[in-house]
Each structure stands twice: as structure tokens, then as C-alpha cells.
A = this chain, B = another copy of it.
């Protein structure tokens, strides 16, 4: 029996496709920068079907690339070997919210927005938010340990996952759920699958933690004449009780949003910081005191009601929209010690000026975690120049004590640079774990390892 026949047997004829147009569409990432080749699409409808699909592919010697919402920014779902594409799109169950224990069980193919809606309807909030919320799936977000706008308050995606089902490369399913918050009965396998980018198994179901909705919220956007003053303020703000967002936006980002979306920064200063506090009690006075202590370029804009807060968030939200106005930007997602943010901004700008003089370098991101996004807008380079620039940037980051990969993960885009952030022994240990779960290396072969 051919692999196709075997897969049809497992999932039913409606859920296997070899249509060339379908496969071509799924073989390019959503930025259009990275393109691969797939042989077949299979869409299993349950954890057991996922496991059976994996076993069949392994036995047939086929490579498998897992696809969720396909919002990876590091080519995490681009097949390289005529792979079988395993889509999680049918794993769409949204369970009831357990209000008492603040949790919900969902399928891996459920979008972030759907989880947010379910939480909201129950008077709770989900701890992760990011721009791709309407497409990104919780399975992919767990597999990449996604971060986002609320990490400073609630942690990353991994910290929201309190249970999961995973189909392993050997075709078995590990179901790891606990009704309690403390569970020290053996290895923390869940953490191993979080951030493993699908190389150790396919997450099919997740129990997600939900949080009480804060009763009170206050937001401010403040401007700084120099980056050191912003970093100093950010360092103070991130230690505050109730810190709920801490977003940097540079002048080029707000110039782009003004030009293309008609949304302008509400305050003076080349460097802007959006800060939000939330909690059980009114935080307005505490925020005002903290802003008084910061070296601002002018008066901050403070929003105490929802409408004003939404206006303050507009520039930050619009940044994601305008990055692509001149075609796919060249993206760098990095983590830096706060003390390295200023040196990085300066040296990265120099690098760009030298190697991509026509590009517009846009810097924004999550100051609480030192997690910055540098986007080179209008960056059209030949492959060699792009590669040289990319590598030089990775070296710059590693040299400043940063991580070459932050909330976007490694994908295939950064696999050659992992050794800048991880030692040989560390990578050898990772390979040992990979070999323990997937000795033939057929699952998500393009990502993480070079």
C-alpha cells in the first residue's frame, strides 16, 4: 500500500491532498521570503489519527513538516524535502472554561483569538497576546514558546500550558494532564515539548491556564529624547507590581504608521515607551509617580478609560501592519540584556547603513524581556549580501550577550546560528534528546538543527 493510500485509510479521503496548487501555497511562508517543496497534505482529526499518521510516515521513510497557523517568522513550517505536510487545522475543539480552576482545554489548531474570546466570555483573560492572534494556533505557539505583548505580566506561552497531549514520533500518544498545579511526579516532559518546534512530537491538545481579568487598568505612552533614559525607565517599570505591558517603539516605526495608517505618536521624543499597569485596585496614582521619576522628553499621554487606552495602543498595533508596506521586511527577533539595548541599536544601525543603505531600520519590542524586533523595511538585497548582513547581525547580538533567537524561535532561518547561543555540549545534549524521541529524524527535519 502506498503512503497516500495508508494515510487515506487513517484520516479519510477528504483529508489527504496531493493537489499541486494547494501544496505550492503551503510550501511558502506567509512573508513570501522562504519557499520549499511538499509532496502531500494530510489533515488528521484527532490525537490518535496524528499518531497513526506519524507512524505511517516514519515507516514509509517520509519526512513530516507540521503546520499550524503558518505565522512563523523564521520559516518554521517550510518543507524542504517533498515532505508530508501535517496540518493541525482540524484539531479545533474548544472546551468549556473551568471558571473555578481557571483553565480551558483546546485543540492544537485553535487560534489564539478563539481562546481569547472563550476566556473573555467567562470573565477571564488568556495570558498571551500577539499581532498574529487571528491566525496563530495555540499548538504552534506552544511549540515555539511564543511571547508577545503580555509576557512581562504573565510569562510566555509555556507558562500558560498546564497539560497537553502529544503524538510522539513512534506513533504513541502521551497524555499529560493534571488537575492540580503542583506536579513533581517525574520529568517535566511538557516543558520539553514547549519550544521544541515540533521536533520531538506533535502537540494535539492543550490545557491552558486562564487569569482573572484585572479590575483596573491604566496606560501611558511616554517619549524619551535618548534611549538610555528609556531603558532606565523600563528597568524601573518592569519591577512594578501590576506591570502589564512595556513596549518600545522607535521614531522610524511611528513615522511609518503616520505615513501609511495615519496614526501618529501622541507624545514628543524619538523613543517611545508604552507602559500599562493593571490590577485589583486603581493604579493611576502609582503610574503617575513612576512617570514623574522618569527622564521624559515631555508630558506623557495617560489613558484611564478603555477608549483612551485603545488610542494609545494604536501606534503599537499599527507597527505590525506597516512593516510590509515595501514588501517583506528582513526581520530580526532577538533578546538582549537591558544594558545592551543602546549599544545594539547603535551598532545595528551602523551595520544596516553600511550593508543595506536603502533599508529603513525599524526597532520595537518588549522591553521587559529585552526582546526586540529589528525590521529592515524596504530591504532588497542580493542573496549573498543578505546572508552577510544576517550573519553579521547574529554575531553582533551574540557578542553583546544576547540570544540570536527570542520569541519567534529558530525555525529553519536561524538553525545555522544556534551554536552562537548554545555550546557544543549543550547542542549534543539536545541531539541526544532528539534521537531518543525520533531516531530517524523524520519529524520537522528542517528546523532547529543544522
Contacts and interface: CB of A to CB of B under 8 A. Distances in A.
Contacts of A188: 145, 158, 191-192, 194-195
A183 B369 CA distance: 10
Interface stretch (A8-16, A173-181, A268-276, A377-385): A173-181
B195 A192 contact: no
Interface stretch (A20-28, A237-245, A303-311, A353-361): A237-245
Interface string A218-246: 00000000000000000100011110000
A448 interface: yes
Interface stretch (A83-91, A113-121, A254-262, A415-423): A415-423
Interface in A408-449: 408-410, 414, 418, 421-423, 425-430, 432-433, 435-437, 448
Interface in A145-162: 145, 147, 151, 156, 158
Contact of A184 (B175, B338, B409): B409
Given A180-B402, A370-B180, A186 B242 contact: no
Contacts of A192: 187-188, 191-192, 433
A1 interface: no
A241 B370 contact: no
A205 interface: no
Interface stretch (A37-45, A132-140, A278-286, A312-320): A278-286
A180 B410 CA distance: 16
Most buried by B among A100, A186, A196, A369: A186
A184 B195 contact: yes
**Total identical chains:** 2
B175 A100 contact: no
A77 to B, nearest CB: 16
A180 B336 contact: yes
A168 interface: yes
Contacts of A346: none
A337 interface: yes
Contacts of A409: 184
Contacts of A179: 337, 401-402
B186 A418 contact: yes
Given A182-B407, A407-B184, A409-B184, A423 B280 contact: no
Interface string A282-303: 0000100000000000000000
Given A174-B426, A176-B422, 8 more contacts: A100-B338, A174-B423, A180-B402, A181-B335, A181-B370, A187-B195, A191-B191, A192-B433
